[in-house]
Structure 1
Amino acid sequence: MVFYPPEWVPKLPFDPPDSIPISDFMLNEKYGRYPLAQSKPPFTCGVSGRSYTALQVRKRVEFLARGLAKEFGWQPNHGTGWDKVIGVFSVNTIDTLTLIWATHRLAGISTPANAAYSASELEHQLKTSKAKALFTCLPLLPIALEAARNAGIPKGNICLFDLPKEILGGNAPPSEFKTVNQLIDEGAALPSTFLNELRWEKGEGANRVAFLCYSSGTSGMPKAVMISHCNMIANILQLTAFEKSRFAPGHLDVVLGLLPHSHIYSLAVVCHTNVYRGFGVINLPKFDLQQLLGAIQRFKINTLYLVPPIIIALTKNKDLVKKYDLSSVVGIFTGAAPLGEETARDLQVDHPTWVIRQGYGLTETSTVVCSTSDHDIFLGSSGSILPATECRLVTPEGTEIEGYDQPGELVVRSPSVVLGYLNDDAANKETFRDGWIHTGDEAVVRKSPLGYEHIFIVDRIKELIKVKGMQVAPAELEAHLLTHPFVADCAVIPVPDEAAGEIPKAFVVKSASVSADVIERIVVRDIQKHVEQHKSRYKWLKGGVEFIDVIPKSPSGKILRRLLRDQEREKRRKEGAKL
């Protein structure tokens, strides 16, 4: 049985254009974008207050494209996108999207990297994407230099985003590295004829990669997801149509841009969709509750795009929250991980006028598959299906589910479904089949009190661990743990954590080299340090290390993580009962 959008959901106003880059779609009013001259400044620094108008951003994109063309010897219609891959490794800046759109103006590819990455993780992304240049910021420069050196990127191909003095303090960027502003100035000095107009045939936008965004997938190191220009454009149109009734004609929202722009949720929803609608995004470099509350008060932010751990922080710090004027806030949108119904109700009690909406999506769907509408709030659900999207539920045996409240793997078809994984035929065959993407998430369909179908995500077949919205693949940590001399076998599972949502816990079978007289806590700490020295903080084993005699596995050798999760859940339940 195929599930479709409810009857109230409008159709797309037009088919997603497939012969233009995202930069044209975002900066040209021909494709339905809100008039540039009437739009709010697309991005404002929430620390310094600095911003550029939408018309200024369009000029900066063109000037930066010329600067990049001169710096690296690129032209829009020469070579392929794979010759012009630019890595973006930075905190959020008001020029992050300026660089991305300038890259697309050159028919290049942008590969945004998580600012929390270690040098080895960034190196993996730079190598597999074959990035030719890297843009970073001063606080992340040491990591960027190490990763770029190991990935073979020349030092001269590393450039810096300009950060405000409020973030840099007294530190000044080294003069040996060009900055985005310098490249823009150089491009502004060049004649308009320096850069050829981009010429694409029909269908090229659907087949050319715009982004290489990295997803944890089901195993191993993060995979490069190939998002086409048309994929991203489609999701912008889908979200805009779905939420059209939310806004009165001429209303322009101010939204929070706290979530990392390297994350698909922020990249597609917070940045692209809101800017297309003429809204203003208030950027913050990292999560700091006081800074966040101060920005809401200062910039009169209307919509907060959050993840569950930040929502929990709001509910747990009531006294601090009451010190700030949050009267401008109309509602929140949460994604990246399920929001517990209890947490949602706590937030609603504290802020009864806020509309709490939740959505669901993947990097592999260029983000949103379903979302909550203001008029049909159903706490706990991920909302209704977006326009031009179809969903099915399939049992492990491949049987189609025909009714409500019956769990099955969520399978999706949409124009936003990506081209696939880069150089990974096995993962592509497993995930993308006959035009449908198998999400790896278990879901049920239920009807809201108003009678409309909603998607509820009830489990994760893919077994990803989501720490503050960041994805951790258990197999990645397991592969690393097996390099430790004390570890003979292991399995990693998520355990609940109030602040982070989930944190990784390792079950370890000790190797024969660990003598019986070695103190167990010393072994545990040594294993934890092994992870901390090589992995990002959100991947650390903060859920602990537990020794067991054997890792449960299926006859085929697959780790039965669900069994370990069930045992862990029961143990915690009993421990709670004793308290």
Structure 2
Amino acid sequence: MVFHPPKDSGVLPPIPDNIPISEFMLTDLYGRTPLGYSRDPFTCGITGKSFSALEVVDRVDHLARGLAKEFNWAPNTGTEWDKTAALFSLNTLDTLTLSWAVHQLGGVVTPANAAYSAAELKHQLLDSKAQVLFTCLPLLQTALEGAALAGFPKHRIYLLELPPPLTAGIQAPAQYKTVSQFIEQGKSLPRLERLKWTAGEGARRTAFLCYSSGTSGLPKGVMISHRNVIANVLQISAFESSWRDTIKAPGTQSNHTEISLCLLPQSHIYSLVVICHAGPFRGDQTIVLPKFDLKSYLASIQNFKISGLFLVPPIIISMLRNHNICSQYDLSSITTLFTGAAPLGMETAADFQKLYPNVLVRQGYGLTETSTVVCSTHPTDIYLGSSGCLIPGVQARIVTPEGEEITTYDTPGELVVYSPSVVLGYLRNEKADKETFENGWMRTGDEAVVRLGPKKTEHFFIVDRIKELIKVKGLQVAPAELEAHLLTHPAVADCAVIAIPDDAAGEIPKAIVVKSASASGSDEEITQSIKKHVEDHKARHKWLKGSVRFIDAVPKSPSGKILRRLLRDQEKEAKRQAGPRL
């Protein structure tokens, strides 16, 4: 049984396949809110510094000219892989300016998580074969260490600027050229030739190379085409158009626009597409915060009258736990809350609704491999706990482990989706491609059920993960990556990493370890040594916050696959027997 979007979910317009994302976003030719009527696309949530949509067009153009001269990149020569730029930075006003400038030159942008360690950055630099690296002052030291490990030249490292509070006490070395300097230089350089793509070229060329663990295994480069991003922006816009049309100011014909928040990392596909592309396309103003701090987050809502929040469940839980702090700020401007990256439980959503009854609580579901949104809660069809309905252009199936289609509601199975936003595949990884993609369909690795909502529309609930990923505050942790690292510790003979529930983070990693014959010291000493081994080499969200448990043998199938579900069940049973903590 193939599931389809609700009949009144909007009409998906033709998706252009012969243009780069930059042209789609920076001209009025493809349905966006006209540039002259758009709010400022990006505004600094700390200083209030802002650029109008028309100023962004000029900044992208000037930056592209500067990059072309510096790197000898020309729009219509070579392939996109000859012009690959890595971005390793906190959120900035110019993250998308830089991305679109690279796209205007026909290049690829590979965003790296700002929480990466030097070793993790090294992996992405080597795997993506990036030719240049843009970072920011607070991350410069990690960037230099990662670049050194990768044999990446220091003279190909450049800086994105951050507001003064984040760079206080950090001296910018003169040898690192900034994006602003590129833009100034570009103002006096000749105009660039426009990209001349034929039909289908935008569907074949990679625009973003984002890293995901997919359904299992180590992080892999996900090749996201220009058409993939364009398609998802049009899908989101079509899905919400009927609602936005109803809330236009009386007597006006212009599109409804709002002020939204960009707090989530711009390297994450949710922020990159939903907030940083779909928002400006609809004419929204996006308030950019470099990182999460509860008080600066609340202050930005109050100061900028933010109406649309794009969050992940841990931030929502933080608001509930710190309601006494939240109540000190004027949050009355908030009209909608959209959450994704990890499921938001029905109870948590209901608790938030009680405290903020005038806020529409919406949830969406998507993956890096679908260039984000697959299903979303329509503002007029809210079913708490659900990830909403399929958006225009998406089809879905629920299948059993044997591959048989499930045709009844409330019956769990793996979610398999088809969409124009399904990506090109994984970089140089045919095995992962065969496991994940088939004839345009993508196996998500997530277990889902379909239920009829209050309006008799089909809502999707993500109930479990068939895949092995752990989601810590919405960030992916691949057990295989941690297991491979743990096995380099002299006290570890064998191991498995599983997710255990955590109120604040959603999930946290826990290591199940078989001690080696050479292991010495008490269990507590070995535990601390193993945890430090991870903390010294991995990003904070990958640390073993769930601690370590020692066993005699890791349970495995005859084929050698770790039986994680059995280990998770053991943890649940141990927690049940321990009883509630007083």
Deviation for aligned residue 1:463: 2.0
Q: Give runs of aligned pairs for residues 299-448 of structure 1, distance below 5 A.
A: 299-448=304-453
Judged with a 3 Å threshold, the aligned counterparts in structure 2 of structure 1 residues 578 and 25 are, in CA distance, closer, same or farther, namely: closer
* Match in the other structure for 1:239: 236
The C-alpha deviation readout for 1:502-561, integer Å capped at 9, x for no partner, is 10001001111125xx21100110111111111001100010100011111111110000
* Match in the other structure for 1:544: 547
The alignment covers a number of residue pairs equal to 574
* Match in the other structure for 1:490: 495
What TM-score, normalized to structure 1?
A: 0.98
Q: Residue 215 of structure 2 contacts residue 436 of structure 2 at CA under 8 Å; is this kept in 1?
A: no
Query: For 1:220 and 1:144, how far apart are their aligned partners in 2?
Result: 25
Match of 1:197 among 194, 197, 210: 194
SS of the residue corresponding to residue 227 of structure 1 reads strand
Query: For 1:363 and 1:38, how far apart are their aligned partners in 2?
Result: 31
* Match in the other structure for 2:251: none
Give the letter aligned to residue 568 of structure 1.
Answer: E
* Match in the other structure for 2:211: 214
* Match in the other structure for 2:140: 141
Q: Residue 259 of structure 1 contacts residue 266 of structure 1 at CA under 8 Å; is this kept in 2?
A: yes
Deviation for aligned residue 1:574: 2.3
Query: For 1:100 and 1:222, how far apart are their aligned partners in 2?
Result: 22
1:527 partnered with 2:530: yes
Q: Residue 310 of structure 2 contacts residue 339 of structure 2 at CA under 8 Å; is this kept in 1?
A: yes
* Match in the other structure for 1:46: 45
* Match in the other structure for 1:91: 90
Query: For 2:137 and 2:581, how far apart are their aligned partners in 1?
Result: 50
Deviation for aligned residue 1:573: 2.1
Give the letter aligned to residue 300 of structure 1.
Answer: K
Query: For 2:173 and 2:581, how far apart are their aligned partners in 1?
Result: 58
Q: Residue 48 of structure 1 contacts residue 166 of structure 1 at CA under 8 Å; is this kept in 2?
A: no
SS of the residue corresponding to residue 380 of structure 2 reads helix
Query: For 1:143 and 1:166, how far apart are their aligned partners in 2?
Result: 20
Q: Residue 441 of structure 1 contacts residue 460 of structure 1 at CA under 8 Å; is this kept in 2?
A: yes
Query: For 1:60 and 1:543, how far apart are their aligned partners in 2?
Result: 46
SS of the residue corresponding to residue 4 of structure 2 reads coil
Deviation for aligned residue 1:163: 1.5
Q: Give runs of aligned pairs for residues 430-579 of structure 1, distance below 5 A.
A: 430-515=435-520, 518-577=521-580, 579=582
Query: For 1:504 and 1:460, how far apart are their aligned partners in 2?
Result: 15
Q: Residue 10 of structure 2 contacts residue 240 of structure 2 at CA under 8 Å; is this kept in 1?
A: no
Q: Give runs of aligned pairs for residues 30-41 of structure 1, distance below 5 A.
A: 30-41=29-40
Q: Residue 360 of structure 2 contacts residue 379 of structure 2 at CA under 8 Å; is this kept in 1?
A: yes
Query: For 2:169 and 2:515, how far apart are their aligned partners in 1?
Result: 49
SS of the residue corresponding to residue 230 of structure 2 reads helix
Give the letter aligned to residue 10 of structure 1.
Answer: G
**Percent identical across equivalent pairs?**
63
Q: Residue 416 of structure 2 contacts residue 442 of structure 2 at CA under 8 Å; is this kept in 1?
A: yes
Give the letter aligned to residue 508 of structure 1.
Answer: V
Give the letter aligned to residue 238 of structure 2.
Answer: A
Query: For 2:439 and 2:109, how far apart are their aligned partners in 1?
Result: 28
Give the letter aligned to residue 132 of structure 1.
Answer: Q
* Match in the other structure for 1:223: 220
Deviation for aligned residue 1:406: 0.6
Structure 2 gap ranges (5+): 249-254
SS of the residue corresponding to residue 315 of structure 1 reads helix
Q: Residue 493 of structure 2 contacts residue 515 of structure 2 at CA under 8 Å; is this kept in 1?
A: yes
Deviation for aligned residue 1:578: 7.1
Query: For 1:174 and 1:513, how far apart are their aligned partners in 2?
Result: 47
SS of the residue corresponding to residue 51 of structure 2 reads coil
Deviation for aligned residue 1:166: 2.2
* Match in the other structure for 1:4: 4
Query: For 1:200 and 1:34, how far apart are their aligned partners in 2?
Result: 24
Give the letter aligned to residue 224 of structure 2.
Answer: I
What TM-score, normalized to structure 2?
A: 0.97
Q: Residue 444 of structure 1 contacts residue 457 of structure 1 at CA under 8 Å; is this kept in 2?
A: yes
* Match in the other structure for 1:103: 102
1:57 partnered with 2:56: yes
Query: For 2:154 and 2:475, how far apart are their aligned partners in 1?
Result: 29
* Match in the other structure for 2:80: 81
1:125 partnered with 2:128: no
Judged with a 3 Å threshold, the aligned counterparts in structure 2 of structure 1 residues 578 and 497 are, in CA distance, closer, same or farther, namely: closer
SS of the residue corresponding to residue 376 of structure 1 reads coil
Query: For 2:552 and 2:310, how far apart are their aligned partners in 1?
Result: 44
Q: Residue 220 of structure 1 contacts residue 479 of structure 1 at CA under 8 Å; is this kept in 2?
A: no
Query: For 1:143 and 1:531, how far apart are their aligned partners in 2?
Result: 17
Q: Residue 63 of structure 2 contacts residue 182 of structure 2 at CA under 8 Å; is this kept in 1?
A: yes
SS of the residue corresponding to residue 30 of structure 1 reads coil
Give the letter aligned to residue 554 of structure 1.
Answer: S
Judged with a 3 Å threshold, the aligned counterparts in structure 2 of structure 1 residues 355 and 187 are, in CA distance, closer, same or farther, namely: same
Give the letter aligned to residue 215 of structure 1.
Answer: S
Q: Residue 138 of structure 2 contacts residue 166 of structure 2 at CA under 8 Å; is this kept in 1?
A: no
Structure 1 gap ranges (5+): none
Give the letter aligned to residue 557 of structure 1.
Answer: G
Query: For 1:85 and 1:500, how far apart are their aligned partners in 2?
Result: 33
Greater shift, 301-310 or 211-220, is seen at 211-220
| Consecutive aligned runs of 4 or more in structure 1 exceeding 4 Å deviation | none
Deviation for aligned residue 1:251: 1.9
Query: For 1:402 and 1:422, how far apart are their aligned partners in 2?
Result: 34
Query: For 2:194 and 2:301, how far apart are their aligned partners in 1?
Result: 40
Query: For 2:87 and 2:299, how far apart are their aligned partners in 1?
Result: 28
The C-alpha deviation readout for 1:6-40, integer Å capped at 9, x for no partner, is 1111121x221000000000001000111111111
SS of the residue corresponding to residue 31 of structure 1 reads coil
Query: For 1:166 and 1:16, how far apart are their aligned partners in 2?
Result: 42
Deviation for aligned residue 1:221: 2.5
Query: For 1:170 and 1:152, how far apart are their aligned partners in 2?
Result: 29
Judged with a 3 Å threshold, the aligned counterparts in structure 2 of structure 1 residues 577 and 292 are, in CA distance, closer, same or farther, namely: closer
Q: Residue 217 of structure 1 contacts residue 473 of structure 1 at CA under 8 Å; is this kept in 2?
A: no
Q: Give runs of aligned pairs for residues 290-305 of structure 1, distance below 5 A.
A: 290-305=295-310
1:260 partnered with 2:265: yes
Query: For 1:577 and 1:23, how far apart are their aligned partners in 2?
Result: 54
Deviation for aligned residue 1:409: 0.4
Query: For 1:475 and 1:51, how far apart are their aligned partners in 2?
Result: 42
Q: Residue 554 of structure 1 contacts residue 560 of structure 1 at CA under 8 Å; is this kept in 2?
A: yes
Deviation for aligned residue 1:345: 1.1
Query: For 1:206 and 1:145, how far apart are their aligned partners in 2?
Result: 35
Deviation for aligned residue 1:153: 2.6
Query: For 2:454 and 2:35, how far apart are their aligned partners in 1?
Result: 40
Query: For 1:541 and 1:191, how far apart are their aligned partners in 2?
Result: 53
